[in-house]
Structures are given as C-alpha cells and as structure tokens.
C-alpha cells in the first residue's frame, strides 16, 4: 500500500469564519505550522470536488447535495477528499498537540482513533490514508448503498442521532468492518472488535489499519465545537424535533379526514 502523503485537509463554511473565532483560528494554525501542504476548503470548493467523483461513485454528488445538514456534507466530503488525494483530514476544531504530525503519516495504511464517546466505534474527526485507500472506498460505497433513495425524513424523525448513524462514526465504522470482512476475517472476530475496539490492535494491523489510542490528548485534542450553542448538535436536534412534530401533525390531519 502507498504511503500517506504530507497533505492536510480541513473544511468549514469559509476561512474568514475560522479567522473570526480565536479558538478555531488557533486550532487550525497548529496544522498550518507543520509545514505540510495545507489545504482548506470552503463550501464552494467542497461542492466542486464532490462533482469530480461522479465517474467512480455514480450518484454521489446528488446524494451529497441533498443532505439536510452542513455537517453531514462535511462528513462525506472528508472521506472523499482523502480517498481522492490522500493525506490527513482533521476537523477545524481539532488541535495538533506539540507538532506530533508524524504519528499520522508514518504508516502505509489507514490511521484513525477510536471514538471515546461511543464504545466499539472508530472516530473520524481526524484520520489519514494514502490515496485510493481501499478502506475509504469501502466506507464511501457503504454510504452510497445505505443512503441512495433513503427517505431522510423517516429516518430523522425516529433517531435523534441520525447524523452519527447516517454519515458519522456509525457508518464510518460499518465501512471499516465491511472492508475487514471482505479481506477474509471471520464474523466472530468482527463481533469481538465491535465489543472492544481497543483490545484488537493486532487484528486491525493485519488489515493495514492503525488504531491510535494515543490520539486522545497525546496527538490531537478535539474541542468539539459542534456541541456549542448553534453548533451542528443544535441543528440536528432542531431538525429532528421539527420533523417529528410535522409527522404528528400530518398523522392527526389524516386521522381527522378519515373520521
């Protein structure tokens, strides 16, 4: 497998927005200071890149364009840009600790942390891979298969964690597991990984996946801006409650018509 190129990818609505917030600006600067090829993508640039993937992943641009929240678009974009170009993806609110950038690129494989908030899942707020990574290919194809033709309103109204489930760590993990199963791993071992990701580093290494427990505080620090007021958590909850309420109103209206 190819090595991981020294390229850093980050995205947000605009770089002007990043500069307007000192915490975000300071976080982003930790990546710029590495001297690596730093690439920032605003909303227009992410949109343009997603159009270039249609030949390899038919339908992906329409799927991306129709997602209901910006954070969901950012989720799919991160998988696609690293698949296409290779390198490191890091959320804009992710701080590189003490310049330990080598921990993210000194491998010939796919590198990611575990998700400390969701036992058994892999984290995708920062990860790295060579271009055309088969792991990312699996993640993207799983997303396409699951989301193509999906009635978002039906899923949203039933699951307040729909972002996590549809584009975030849940489906990211599902794509990784599908990749490992495709390489001949047993379902029994996969079930064990599901129960405890951290105890299975040797099995993951066998499949060219590096799991770094040290991400948490030692390599990167995640500020989790999405949980701040007005962040993506608030946006997701607002969509969830509005969709659920709209569904109840429609059901009641239908019941009245039938009575």
- Establish if 238 belongs to a structural domain: no
How far apart CA 139 and CA 174 sit, in angstroms, is 7
Please indicate, yes or no, if residue 236 is contained in any of the structural domains: no
- On whether residue 121 sits in a domain, the answer given is yes
Residue 237 within a domain: no
Tell me the mean pLDDT in the region 15-19: 93
pLDDT class of 137 with cuts at 50, 70, 90: very high
Read off the pTM: 0.87
Is the pLDDT at 103 greater than 90, yes or no?
no
pLDDT confidence bin for 227, thresholds 50/70/90:
low
- Asked, for residue 240, whether it belongs to a domain, the answer is no
Q: Which pLDDT value is given to residue 162?
A: 85
For residues 18-30, average pLDDT: 94
Residue 209 belongs to some domain of the structure: yes
Summarised one tens digit per residue, pLDDT across range 209-224 is 998 765 555 788 777 6
Neighbours of 254 (CB within 10 A): 10
Domain count, the chain: 1
**How much is the mean pLDDT over the chain?**
84
**Nearest by Cα to 94 from 64, 72, 74:** 74
Residue 252 lies in a domain: no
d(CA 63, CA 147): 7
Domain-embedded: residue 255: no
CB 220 within 8 A of CB 95: yes
Give me the CATH number covering residue 161: 3.90.550
Q: Which of 70, 20, 81, 12 is nearest to 42 (CA)?
A: 12
Domain that holds residue 95: 7-223
**What are 43-52's contacts with CB under 8 Å, separation 24+?**
43/13, 43/14, 43/70, 45/11, 46/11, 46/73, 46/74, 46/77, 46/81, 49/77, 49/80, 49/81, 49/84, 50/76, 50/77, 50/80, 52/84
pLDDT band at 232 (very low <50, low <70, confident <90, very high): low
Q: Is the pLDDT score of 192 beyond 80?
A: no
Here the tokens at position 128 are 């790295």
């Amino acid at each position: 497998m190819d090595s991981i190129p020294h390229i850093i990818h980050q995205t947000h609505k605009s770089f002007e927005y990043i500069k307007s917030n000192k915490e975000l600006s300071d976080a982003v600067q930790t990546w710029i200071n590495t001297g690596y090829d730093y690439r920032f993508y605003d909303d227009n640039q992410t949109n343009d890149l997603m159009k270039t993937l249609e030949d390899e992943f038919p339908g992906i641009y329409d799927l991306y364009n129709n997602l209901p929240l910006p954070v969901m678009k950012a989720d799919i974009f991160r998988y696609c840009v690293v698949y296409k170009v290779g390198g490191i993806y890091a959320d804009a609110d992710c701080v590189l600790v003490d310049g330990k950038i080598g921990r993210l690129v000194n491998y010939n494989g796919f590198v990611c942390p575990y998700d400390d908030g969701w036992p058994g899942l892999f984290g995708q707020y920062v990860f790295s891979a060579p271009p055309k990574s088969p792991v990312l290919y699996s993640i993207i194809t799983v997303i396409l298969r699951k989301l193509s033709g999906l009635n978002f309103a039906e899923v949203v109204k039933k699951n307040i964690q729909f972002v996590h489930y549809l584009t975030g760590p849940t489906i990211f993990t599902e794509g990784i597991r599908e990749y490992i199963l495709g390489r001949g791993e047993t379902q029994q071992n996969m079930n064990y990984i599901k129960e405890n990701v951290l105890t299975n580093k040797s099995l993951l290494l066998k499949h060219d996946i590096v799991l770094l427990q040290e991400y948490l505080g030692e390599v990167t620090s995640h500020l989790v801006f999405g949980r701040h007021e007005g962040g993506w958590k608030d946006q997701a909850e607002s969509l969830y409650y509005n969709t659920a309420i709209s569904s109840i109103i429609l059901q009641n209206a239908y019941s009245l018509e039938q009575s």
